[in-house]
């Protein structure tokens, strides 16, 4: 999803990086997460790092509930802007990319949330089925 254009002027949107845990959670328990994020942060650009997409692709090849949720998550993220990763682990790449682009991160991973909060990155999470900003 590219930034909106008004004539020749480009409007910079807040980037939101999505973790596989968030996308799989909203696949399992559908919410109005897109609208809620827009209410919390205004217009935004959803971004999916290549390493997150790869993680979801690997999970989607597997059987059972986890594979099904990963396939649904990939469908949800099909129109997200892609972004490349370096060679670090997925969580480290999310933190690095968020710091670099001043983006927020959508995740339900408690360890990742603690790391993001420690470096003052906004976190979007699900709590009791509701999308919240921490």
pLDDT digits (tens, 9 = 90+) for 93-122: 999 999 999 999 999 999 999 999 999 999
Among residues 102, 101, 95, 100, the alpha carbon closest in space to that of 117 is found at 95
Angle at 109 between CA 108 and CA 112, to 5 degrees: 125
Q: What percentage of the chain has pLDDT greater than the value 70?
A: 91
Q: Which CATH number fits domain 5-133: 3.40.50.1010, 3.40.630.30, 3.40.47.10, 3.40.640.10?
A: 3.40.50.1010
Classify residue 36 as exposed, middle or buried by CB count within 10 Å of its CB (0-12, 13-18, 19+).
Answer: middle
**Per-residue confidence (pLDDT) for residue 13, from 0 to 100:** 84
Kindly report the three-state secondary structure assignment for every residue of 12-39.
CCEEEEECHHHHHHHHHCCCCHHHHHHH
């Amino acid at each position: 999803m590219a930034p909106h254009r008004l004539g020749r002027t480009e409007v910079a949107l807040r980037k939101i990086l999505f973790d596989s845990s968030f996308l799989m959670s909203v696949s399992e328990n559908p919410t109005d997460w897109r609208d809620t994020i827009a209410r919390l942060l205004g217009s935004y650009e959803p971004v999916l790092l290549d390493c997150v997409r790869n993680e979801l692709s690997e999970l989607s090849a597997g059987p059972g509930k986890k594979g099904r949720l990963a396939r649904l998550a990939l469908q949800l993220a099909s129109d997200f802007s892609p972004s490349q990763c370096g060679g670090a682990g997925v969580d480290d790449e999310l933190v690095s990319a968020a710091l670099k682009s001043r983006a927020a991160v959508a995740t339900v991973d408690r360890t990742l949330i603690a790391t993001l909060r420690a470096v003052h990155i906004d976190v979007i999470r699900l709590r009791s089925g509701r999308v919240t900003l921490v």
